[in-house]
A = this chain, B = another copy of it.
Amino acid sequence: MQDAALALPPPSPAPSPVRAALADADFAPVLDSAPAPDLEELVRQLPLLRRRLKPRQYLFRAGQPRHALYLIHAGFFKTSVGSADGREKITGFRMRGDLLGIDALDMPTHACDAIALDVGEVWELPVGRMQALLPDFQQRLTALLAGEIRRDWGWMLALGTLSADQRVIAFLLDFAARLERMGFSARCLLLRMTRAELGNFLALQLETVTRALSRLQARGLIEVARREIRIADAAGLRAAMAGDQ
């Protein structure tokens, strides 16, 4: 659901059984038969520790002891992994409703860095107590983990098969779809990350991101003003991502 923008058309009436299984949206009707409420809705009453963060502040770092999971209540975050020789890769941009720290559920310490991109608030979920309070908490964790895997695979597919312009489009469409799910406008995006961070995530140099945005603007598909991006022609973007360069 989160990456609906990545897997374009609906399941094709194609040769092999089914394709494009990455689009969780295809299965939404099935899953929604039991109207599952938000995790945030469920834990609203609980006396959770709430933590506020300033821009650029670390929520946690790889290697630090893992005390709990963190449900994002407000703000935007990035998660990243690093290698010993200094290389670094942003693994995702996270927003309200996302759960941070699940990737290290089986470890005593965190496996990635989590950094606030602006002011943010997270709710601390103690895993042990949660399982007692919410009977299906483990199920939810499993679903979130599996969903993260599919999301990662979707981006691996995108980064491995799309050109620079197409990757930027894929990001814009995905970001717009996620904002829309949160009730914001899907037309007017306010990027919370720098060009360098966007390039890191998309496996591009920051100059290439800038140039791609300029090209898309020149084609009349978007309007760029620093970190504010208006989507002028969503259909055109989708076509440009699937069709030609």
Contacts and interface: CB of A to CB of B under 8 A. Distances in A.
A97 interface: no
Contacts of A7: 83-84
Interface in A124-181: 138-139, 141-143, 145-150, 152-157, 159-162
B16 A157 contact: no
Interface centre among A23, A61, A62 (most CB of B within 10 A): A62
A19 B156 CA distance: 23
Interface string A196-240: 000010010000000000000000000000000000000000000
> How many identical chains are in the complex?
2
Interface stretch (A43-51, A107-115, A187-195): A107-115
A103 interface: yes
B82 A27 contact: no
B91 A142 contact: no
Nearest to A242: B85
A31 B17 CA distance: 41
14 contacts: A6-B83, A11-B84, A16-B61, A20-B83, A21-B104, A31-B107, A85-B242, A87-B157, A102-B149, A105-B143, A107-B146, A142-B142, A159-B160, A159-B203
B141 A142 contact: yes
A82 B19 contact: yes
A21 B89 contact: no
A147 B104 CA distance: 8
A103 to B, nearest CB: 5
A109 B146 CA distance: 13
